[in-house]
Amino acid sequence: MKSLKISMVSKVMLLFTSVLFIGSLFVPMWRIELQAPQYPEGLVIQLYANKIGGDVAIINGLNHYIGMATLHTENFFEFKVLPYIFGAFGFVSLVLIFIARRKAVLVFLISYVLFVVLAAIDFYRWNYEYGHNLNPNAAIVVPGMAYQPPLIGYKQLLNFGAYSIPDTGGWMLSLAGILLAIVVLLEFKIFRKAKL
C-alpha cells in the first residue's frame, strides 16, 4: 500500500498547482486583441473568471454598427460559476497532498482535461453566437459576413485583425495542467519505462 503514496516532489508540485489555480482568479485568463488602422494602439477584451474587462465600451460601440450584441458580464452565467470551479480545483489540489494517492491525482487530471475541453466548446459557442447572430437592421451590413473571433490564434474580420490568446491566468491554468500531468507521469513511472 505504501507504494501507492505519492512522493514529496509530487506534493510540492501539487502545492504549486493549488497556488496557480487560486492565483488565476485575480488576473485575466484570456484576451482578444483587435487591431485596425483607425486604432493603431489596438483594442482588447480581457476575460477574467468573474467579469469582462478591457476596452468593452469602445468595442460595444463598434459592434452596434455591424449588428453584434453588446457584451455585458451579467449576460454570461460562466462568470458566476468559474470562480467557484477554479477555487474548487485549488482546494482539491491541496486535499490531494494529504490523500497522497496517485490514482486520485490521475482522476483529478482527467477531470481537469475534460473541463478544459468543455470550456473550449463553450467559448467556441459563445464566439459563434456573437459573430453570427447579427441584427439585420444594423448600420453596416455585409452580405454573408460573420464576425466570429477565432477560438485561438488570428483571424481577419473586415479591417480588424483579431488575436485570441491566453492571458496571464490562462498561462497559469496551462502550467497547472502541465504540473498535474508531470505528477501523474512521475508517479506511474512512465519516465522510467520510457528509458527501458
Look at the block and give the residue holding cell 502550467.
Answer: 175
* Domain assignment present for 61: yes
Q: Provide the 8-state DSSP code for 157.
A: E
Q: What is the pLDDT of residues 143-195, one digit of tens each?
A: 777 788 888 999 888 788 899 999 999 999 999 999 999 999 998 875 455 44
Model confidence, pTM? 0.86
* Domain assignment present for 190: no
* Domain assignment present for 195: no
Which string of DSSP letters, residue by residue, matches 10-50?
Answer: HHHHHHHHHHHHHHGGGS--EEEEEEETTEEEEEEEEE-SS
Cell, residue 137: 437592421
Q: What is the pLDDT of residues 77-114, one digit of tens each?
A: 999 999 999 999 999 999 999 998 889 999 999 999 99
Q: What residue numbers bound the domain in which 130 lies?
A: 2-185
The count of domains in the chain is: 1
* Domain assignment present for 161: yes
The per-residue b/e assignment along 153-169, b for 16 or more CB within 10 angstroms, e otherwise, is eebebeebebbbeebbb
pLDDT of 22 higher than 50 = yes
Q: Provide the 8-state DSSP code for 3.
A: G
* Domain assignment present for 68: yes
* Domain assignment present for 196: no
* Domain assignment present for 193: no
Q: Greater confidence, 10 or 138?
A: 10
Q: Provide the 8-state DSSP code for 160.
A: E
* Domain assignment present for 139: yes
